[in-house]
Amino acid sequence: MELLVDILILLKNVAVAFLLSWINFFIPRRCKCVKGEIVLVTGAASGMGCDMILEFAKLGAITVAWDVNSHGLEDTKQLVEAVGGKCYTFVCDVSDRKQVKQVADQVRRQVGDVSILVNNAGVVFGKKLLELTDEEIERTMGVNLMAQIWTTKEFLPSMLENNHGHVVNMGSSAGLVGLSQLVDYSTSKFGVVGFTQTLNYELHFSGHDGVATTLVCPSFVKTGMFAGCKMEYPLILPDLEQHPTVMRIMQAILTNQTEIYLPRMVYPMVALKHVIPVAAMKEVIRFFRAHKFMEPFSRRKNMDDLQINTEE
Ligand SMILES: NC(=O)c1ccc[n+]([C@@H]2O[C@H](COP(=O)([O-])OP(=O)(O)OC[C@H]3O[C@@H](n4cnc5c(N)ncnc54)[C@H](O)[C@@H]3O)[C@@H](O)[C@H]2O)c1
């Protein structure tokens, strides 16, 4: 009898959750105000990170930019100041746990408690598993996945204390449906998906509903990170332009959307992967030539600036 009552309650709650999510789909939630919030973006020296920090600054947020690229950080700072914003820059290798701790302390002392953390820094080597050196694999896991855990451990406590905050993690569609020649990258991004989803559950079930999480999973965005690559059927799975993509991500953050996959076509692809046989999924991948996506990849010049430290 107790089980039956519990099942009925479950069905009612699930129906309400569906209803609310449909309502939110057709009538988007109001954007929250980020004026005066301290927003930290990692990997803010270029690409989507730089663009996001600029958008936050335009909305009146106090911005904190982290990157390994000091020249790029200077450019980001100037762009923010040109729109009348405030930007604190810190050189930090986010894959280095000790450095993250030290620089986070500096941020707390010089700027204050971070209330919106955007884990955006990322690297890609675009090689097959056996072509990757051990250091490259560690680098990918360190920057793309472990860094998100270290920064979250640093900045989550004050968010929990105030029951107010937001952790945004940059995943990838390659962390939902893996791609060849991206084994290390896909693995790190699958980790980001798992990390963000479980963090979200943990916050919810511990009653911290004032702290939001957003998982961002774009497919191919023309930022230069995947220079030389392109999708085979752009009509079905289009290449994404950087700025409009950032504006969609900003909307998701400002409306506390839990997950966003871009373009929308990624949603059915992910659903398909879970219901069709693996062999059938490989045919879908073959159709999109996704197994050849990385072949024309030309390594970005500034990848060489990222200094893989093999001395330790
Ligand atoms: N471009 C795409 O097609 C695409 C698709 C899906 C997801 N993503 C993800 O979006 C995020 C942003 O990528 P982007 O396309 O703007 O690329 P990008 O190369 O322009 O930006 C990545 C930034 O991370 C910084 N970075 C690298 N290693 C770092 C480290 N150890 N410590 C601190 N900063 C470091 C780089 O200097 C760079 O400024 C990444 O996490 C990427 O994996 C990109």
pLDDT at 77: 98
Cβ 95 under 6 angstroms from ligand 1:
yes
Residue 40 burial (C-beta neighbours within 10 Å; 0-12, 13-18, 19+)? buried
- Specify the residue with its C-alpha closest to ligand 1, atom 40: 122
Its pTM stands at 0.93
**Cα 167 from Cα 180, distance rounded (Å):** 29
Given its phi and psi angles, is residue 86 left (phi above 0), alpha (psi -120 to 50 degrees) or beta? beta
Q: Is the pLDDT of residue 308 over 60?
A: no
Distance from Cα 84 to the centre of ligand 1, integer Å: 25
DSSP 43: S
The answer to whether 198 and 206 are in contact (CB under 8 A) is no
Structure tokens of 219?
């497919």
Q: Can you tell me whether residue 308 is helix, strand or coil? A: coil
Cβ 263 under 6 angstroms from ligand 1:
no
**Cα 60 from Cα 37, distance rounded (Å):** 8
**Cα 92 from Cα 67, distance rounded (Å):** 5
pLDDT band at 310 (very low <50, low <70, confident <90, very high): very low
Of ligand 1's listed atoms, the one at least distance from the Cα of 173 is 6
Distance from Cα 225 to the centre of ligand 1, integer Å: 7
pLDDT tens-digit readout, 242-290: 999 999 999 999 999 999 999 999 999 999 999 999 999 999 888 888 8
pLDDT at 296: 81
21, containing H or E segment = helix 2-26
Q: Is the pLDDT of residue 89 over 70?
A: yes
CB neighbourhood size of 110 (10 A) = 10
pLDDT at 298: 55
CA distances from 162 to 105, 113, 254 (A): 18, 10, 19
pLDDT band at 91 (very low <50, low <70, confident <90, very high): very high
| Main-chain phi, psi angles of 66, to 5 degrees | -115, 140
The answer to whether 167 and 152 are in contact (CB under 8 A) is yes
Pick the CATH number of 32-306 from 2.40.30.10, 3.90.1150.10, 3.40.50.720, 3.30.1490.20: 3.40.50.720
Residue with tokens 């893996």: 178
pLDDT at 293: 85
Buried-state track 167-203, b at ≥16 Cβ within 10 A, e below 16: bbbbbbbbbbbbbebbbbbbbbbbbbbebbbebbeeb
- Average pLDDT score, the chain: 92
Q: Is the pLDDT of residue 301 over 70?
A: no
DSSP 111: T
Structure tokens of 212?
């939001």
Catalytic residue annotation: 185
For ligand 1, pick from 40, 41, 42, 48 the residue to mutate: most ligand atoms within 8 Å of CB.
Answer: 48
Q: Is the pLDDT of residue 144 over 80?
A: yes
Q: Can you count the helices (H) and strands (E) in the chain?
A: 10, 7
Of 70-84, 234-248, 294-308, the least confident? 294-308
**Mean pLDDT confidence for 148-173:** 98
**Mean pLDDT confidence for 199-226:** 96
Q: Is the pLDDT of residue 9 over 80?
A: yes
**Cα 286 from Cα 22, distance rounded (Å):** 33
CA distances from 283 to 89, 200, 278, 288, 295 (A): 46, 33, 9, 9, 18
pLDDT tens-digit readout, 178-211: 988 899 999 999 999 999 999 999 999 999 999 9
Cβ 69 under 6 angstroms from ligand 1:
yes
More confident residue, 171 or 295: 171
- Specify the residue with its C-alpha closest to ligand 1, atom 19: 225
pLDDT tens-digit readout, 23-55: 988 888 899 999 999 999 999 999 999 999 999
Domain edges within the chain? 32-306
